[in-house]
Chain A
């Protein structure tokens, strides 16, 4: 017997709607749970004081600084490399075996678990290059980790720029470089920024790649060659070593708020950027 379309329609709405609701519910549950457990310990002192007794008491200020600096260094390194690679792949080469190999390599890089990056960073930056546990070692390791994201999102954004824009630019006497700089990159910017924001989000929450390379010092860093502890690492250590579950949740709450803030700000920036160009 044939099921009437009305019934299949109702089933489809229920299934897809249910999937959406479930997804959102998990997100809301995680946020509410962590904030509910963590926010009670959060105060201005918690944010602005240094930890005492390995984090059992005091605040988390140095880990806030670490969480801010590491993604900054990572993106500062990965952004020019990643955008440069994607411009090379899309504008300066024709599709060939070579570009295929580069793309395959990038995809492989994206699939490597972050702990492997951590070990690589430890062996290469910390030991072989003798940089020690520091912000720069951690930033470089994170940069390698987010490079594939920046390359692929930039590449997709650049590919989405209509060919006709390039043709017009060339036909008006622009060189390839001028075309890339004045037409292609500005048009692709929202997509490129998305990749950067995804990378910052990933870096903020990263633990495995950071703990082996940036270390876990609770002191405020003086330079890029000092060790720092990020909030994610702090949370891991507090919980793992049973130092203070309350402060662990407090740190987690701030971490979640930081990630939400990054997303909200980037979303707002992008909308403003698009609005400005399409006014």
Chain B
């Protein structure tokens, strides 16, 4: 099977700081790939390489190649906005705009120039259904999104990103602000979404990585220490450093 995202010999610098060191990673389509490792190991940085959010940080440079479906996303003629529509992102803290639920979900479409309100409403309904939020909010689409409970806010953020029809979904510790019950709902949602989308998740929660991911990558100090199928990485790690981290001796 060809990889959805193929990272080869990737180096990333913040000014003089070498944040990612010769990283290689092949992310399979319609699977959940987990990036794990201690704080500051570069996993969030790696995630933000995939939708070029690091472009916004002054002094950030990369070397190596990152291919999405065979195309180099750092080639000079790449349309970054189009790339970001293909590779959506869910952030650590639920971050709806202080707008209505409807306006949040349709934000990406409205920015893209769609103004037909029927089409927007249809897309909002479809996205909210896909994020399992439709039943809870169908009667209050015009009320303020930031008044929703946190887990519903996070699912609204998922719906907002599904509306622009991405292929890859990046999740940066999407459950770290949520309680265990809300976390379980988001995890369940991720398992359902990975039938149609390629998901990459950064998580600090080992159990979460073990529960939901198909492959896991362990990173340490900017290096990719180990990458493999999740059961193998967790039960039979090849690298001593991975074993130390997973068994809790370190990190």
Q: Footprint of B on A, CB under 8 Å?
A: 94, 162, 164-165, 167-175, 178, 182-183, 187, 277-279
Contacts and interface: CB of A to CB of B under 8 A. Distances in A.
A187 B107 CA distance: 14
Nearest to A164: B95
Contact of B81 (A173, A187, A279): A173
Given A168-B95, A279-B142, A173 B53 contact: no
Interface string B96-109: 01111000000110
B84 A170 contact: yes
Nearest to B110: A182
Contacts of A178: 111
Interface centre among B108, B111, B160, B164 (most CB of A within 10 A): B111
B58 A94 contact: yes
Contact of A277 (B84, B99, B107): B99
Nearest to B79: A173
B37 to A, nearest CB: 22
Contacts of B97: 165, 168, 183, 187
Given A164-B93, A277-B99, A278-B144, A172 B110 contact: no
A98 B64 CA distance: 34
A127 to B, nearest CB: 46
Contacts of B160: 168, 172
B84 A172 contact: yes
Contacts of B88: 171-172
Nearest to A274: B98
A173 B82 contact: yes
Contacts, number: 65
A172 B161 contact: yes
Interface residues of B, number: 29
A168 B93 CA distance: 11
Given A278-B144, A279-B142, A279-B143, A174 B95 contact: no
A171 B111 contact: no
Interface in B135-167: 142-144, 157, 160-161, 164
B56 interface: yes
B209 interface: no
A175 B111 CA distance: 9
Nearest to B59: A94
15 contacts: A162-B95, A164-B95, A167-B56, A167-B95, A168-B97, A170-B53, A171-B89, A172-B84, A173-B84, A173-B108, A173-B164, A178-B111, A182-B110, A182-B111, A277-B98
A126 B82 CA distance: 52
Contacts of B53: 167, 170-171
Contacts of B142: 279
A173 B111 contact: yes
Contacts of B99: 277
B82 A182 contact: no
A182 to B, nearest CB: 6
Contacts of B85: 172-173
B203 interface: no
Contacts of A167: 53, 56, 91, 95
Contacts of B242: none
A277 B146 CA distance: 11
B112 interface: yes
Nearest to B58: A94
Given A165-B97, A172-B85, 13 more contacts: A164-B95, A167-B95, A168-B95, A168-B97, A171-B88, A172-B84, A172-B107, A172-B111, A173-B81, A173-B85, A173-B111, A277-B99, A278-B98
A67 B60 CA distance: 53
A279 B82 CA distance: 33
Interface string B209-231: 00000000000000000000000
Interface in B93-133: 93, 95, 97-100, 107-108, 110-112
A278 B142 CA distance: 10
B80 to A, nearest CB: 9
A162 to B, nearest CB: 8
A175 B82 CA distance: 10
A94 B56 CA distance: 11
Nearest to A166: B56
